[in-house]
Amino acid sequence: MNVCPHKGAPLCEGPQCGTTAWDGGGKFISCRDNEIVRCAWHGWEFDIRSGASLVDPDVKARTFPVTVEGGNVFVLA
């Protein structure tokens, strides 16, 4: 389903994007470009492949297998 596990927002309204991470040396860097879906309501971020929350991997958005054929994406629900 198209539902954020936080408060039920439609995840399709959020962007596919990257995230920000600490580089271990005092800076934040942009990374994982296009690997993340960010919820439009409160900004929770999910791995686009696994659905796992970046903050708590035990919290997951539902995912579906897909195929890409000829530039079209098919959802295998």
Residue 70 C-beta: closest distance to ligand FES, Å: 33
Residue 6 C-beta: closest distance to ligand FES, Å: 3
Distance of alpha carbon 31 from alpha carbon 33, whole angstroms: 6
Q: Which residues, 38 to 77, sit near ligand FES by CB under 6 A? A: 39, 41-42, 44
Distance of alpha carbon 70 from alpha carbon 36, whole angstroms: 23
What DSSP character marks residue 54?
A: S
Residue 1 or 74 having the CB closest to ligand FES = 1
Beta carbons within 10 angstroms of residue 46's beta carbon: 26
Binding site for ligand FES (CB under 6 A): 4, 6-9, 39, 41-42, 44
